[in-house]
Amino acid sequence: MEHSGVALWRRIKNTLSQEIDQGDIKPDQRLPSSQALAARFGVNRHTVLKAVSALQEEGKVRIERGRGTYAVANRLDYNIGPNQLFEQNLAAHNLAPSRTVLSVAECHAPSRAADALKLSKGSQVLLVTTLGEAEGLPVNYGIHYIAGSRLPGIAQLFRSFEGKTCQVFTFPELFEKCGINEYHRKDVVIRSRRPTNDEARYLNIPAVEHVLTTRVLSVGPKEIPLTYAETAFAGSRVSFRVSF
Amino acid sequence: MEHSGVALWRRIKNTLSQEIDQGDIKPDQRLPSSQALAARFGVNRHTVLKAVSALQEEGKVRIERGRGTYAVANRLDYNIGPNQLFEQNLAAHNLAPSRTVLSVAECHAPSRAADALKLSKGSQVLLVTTLGEAEGLPVNYGIHYIAGSRLPGIAQLFRSFEGKTCQVFTFPELFEKCGINEYHRKDVVIRSRRPTNDEARYLNIPAVEHVLTTRVLSVGPKEIPLTYAETAFAGSRVSFRVSF
DNA sequence: TGGAATTTGTCCGTATGTATG
DNA sequence: CCATACATACGGACAAATTCC
What average pLDDT does range A36-59 have in this prediction? 90
B-chain residues within 8 Å CB-CB of A225? none
Tell which residue, B86, B78, B234, B231, has the closest CA to residue B144: B231
B-chain residues within 8 Å CB-CB of A194? 62, 64
A-chain residues within 8 Å CB-CB of B67? none
Nucleotides of C under 7 A from a protein CB: 1, 6-11, 17-18
Strands B238-243 and B76-79: parallel
Domain finish residue from B36, B56, B71: B71
**In a shared domain, residues B49 and B135:** no
**In a shared domain, residues A47 and A94:** no
Q: What does the alpha-carbon distance between residue B81 and residue B39 come to, in Å, rounded to a whole number? A: 50
**CATH number for A61:** 1.10.10.10
The phi and psi torsions of B219 (rounded to 5 degrees) equal: -130, 160
Q: Residue A47 sits in which domain range? A: 2-71
Report helix, strand or coil for A99: strand
**In a shared domain, residues A33 and A19:** yes
Measure CA to C1' and name the residue nearest C7: A66
Instruction: Look at the pTM and tell me if it is higher than 0.85.
Output: no
**In a shared domain, residues A102 and A40:** no
What is the count of residue pairs from A and B with beta carbons less than 8 Å apart? 89
Domains held by chain B: number: 2
Report helix, strand or coil for A145: strand
Q: What is the pLDDT of residue A107?
A: 94
**In a shared domain, residues A30 and A62:** yes
**In a shared domain, residues B53 and B106:** no
**In a shared domain, residues B40 and B109:** no
Domain finish residue from B71, B92, B109: B71
B-chain residues within 8 Å CB-CB of A193? 62, 235-236
> Considering just the CA atoms, what is the radius of gyration of chain B in Å?
23
**In a shared domain, residues A10 and A82:** no
Cβ-contact A191, A211 below 8 angstroms: no
Q: Round and report the angstrom distance from CA (A66) to C1' (C6).
A: 8
Cβ-contact A96, A134 below 8 angstroms: yes
**In a shared domain, residues B36 and B149:** no
**In a shared domain, residues A25 and A80:** no
Tens digits of per-residue pLDDT, A110-164? 888 999 999 998 899 999 999 888 777 788 999 999 999 999 889 999 998 887 7
Closest nt to A48 (CA→C1')? D9
Nearest beta carbon to residue A189 from set B191, B210, B240: B240
Which residue in chain A has the smallest CA separation from B223?
A244
**In a shared domain, residues B129 and B37:** no
CA-to-CA dists, residue A229 to A185, A218, B99, angstroms: 11, 8, 35
pLDDT higher than 50, residue B3:
no
Measure CA to C1' and name the residue nearest D17: A66
Report helix, strand or coil for A96: coil
Cβ-contact B115, B209 below 8 angstroms: no
Domain finish residue from B71, B96, B131: B71
**In a shared domain, residues A111 and A193:** yes
Nucleotides of D under 7 A from a protein CB: 7-12, 16-19
Tens digits of per-residue pLDDT, B68-109? 777 766 778 888 877 777 667 666 666 767 788 888 888 888
Tens digits of per-residue pLDDT, A164-206? 765 677 888 888 888 888 999 999 999 998 787 788 888 888 7
Strand D at less than 7 A from CB of A51: no
Q: CB–CB of A64 and B194 under 8 A?
A: yes
> CB within 7 A of strand C: which residues qualify?
A 3, 31, 33-36, 45-46, 49, 52-53, 63-69; B 34-35, 45, 197
**CATH number for A87:** 3.40.1410.10
